[in-house]
Structure 1
Amino acid sequence: MQETTTIFGIRAVLEAIHNGETIDKIYVQKGLSGQLFQELQQKTKSGDYNISYVPVEKLNKLVKGNHQGVVAKISPIAFSDLEEVVENALSKGTAPLFLLLDQIDDVRNFGAIIRTAECCGVDGIIIPKKGGAPVTADTVKTSAGAIFNIPLIKVDHIKDAIYYMQASGIKVVAATEKTDTLLYNADLAQPVALIMGNEGKGISDSVLKLADEKAKLPMLGSIGSLNVSVACGAFLYEVVRQRL
Structure 2
Amino acid sequence: MEKTLQIHGTRAIIEAIEAGKEVDKVFLQKGLHNSLLSELNTLIKKNGIQTSFVPIEKLNKLTQLNHQGAVATISPVKYHDFEELVNRTVESGETPLFILLDQLSDVRNFGAIIRTAECTGAHGVIIPKKGGAPLNGVAVKTSAGAAFSMPIAKVDHIKDAIYYLQGSGIQVVAATEKTDNTLYDVDFKEPTAIVMGREDSGVSPGVLKIVDHQAKLPLKGSIASLNVSVACGAFLYEAVRQRL
Give TM-score, length-normalised by structure 1. Answer: 0.95
Query: Contact 1:196 / 1:202 at 8 angstroms: preserved in 2?
Result: yes
Segment drifting more, 127-136 vs 23-32: 23-32
Q: What does residue 236 of structure 2 align with?
A: 236
Distance, in Å, in 2 between the alignment partners of 1:47 and 1:159 is: 19
5 Å matches for 1:73-152? 73-152=73-152
Q: What does residue 14 of structure 1 align with?
A: 14
Distance, in Å, in 1 between the alignment partners of 2:5 and 2:56 is: 20
Distance, in Å, in 1 between the alignment partners of 2:79 and 2:217 is: 31
Distance, in Å, in 1 between the alignment partners of 2:66 and 2:119 is: 42
Tell me how far 1:4 sits from its aligned partner. 5.3
Segment drifting more, 125-134 vs 49-58: 49-58
Q: What does residue 64 of structure 1 align with?
A: 64
Match of 1:100, SS?
Answer: strand
Tell me how far 1:133 sits from its aligned partner. 0.7
Structure 2, unaligned stretches of length 5 or more? none
Match of 1:67, SS?
Answer: coil
Identical-pair percentage: 60
C-alpha RMSD of matched pairs (Å)? 1.5
Match of 1:45, SS?
Answer: helix
Tell me how far 1:3 sits from its aligned partner. 8.7
Deviation digits for residues 115-144 of structure 1, max 9, x if unmatched?
000011111110000111111111111111
Hey, which bits of structure 1, 4+ residues long, moved more than 4 A? none
> Taking structure 1 as reference, are residues 31 and 137 closer, same or farther at Cα in structure 2, changes over 3 Å only?
same
Distance, in Å, in 2 between the alignment partners of 1:102 and 1:190 is: 22
Query: Contact 1:3 / 1:137 at 8 angstroms: preserved in 2?
Result: no
Tell me how far 1:31 sits from its aligned partner. 2.3
Give TM-score, length-normalised by structure 2. Answer: 0.95
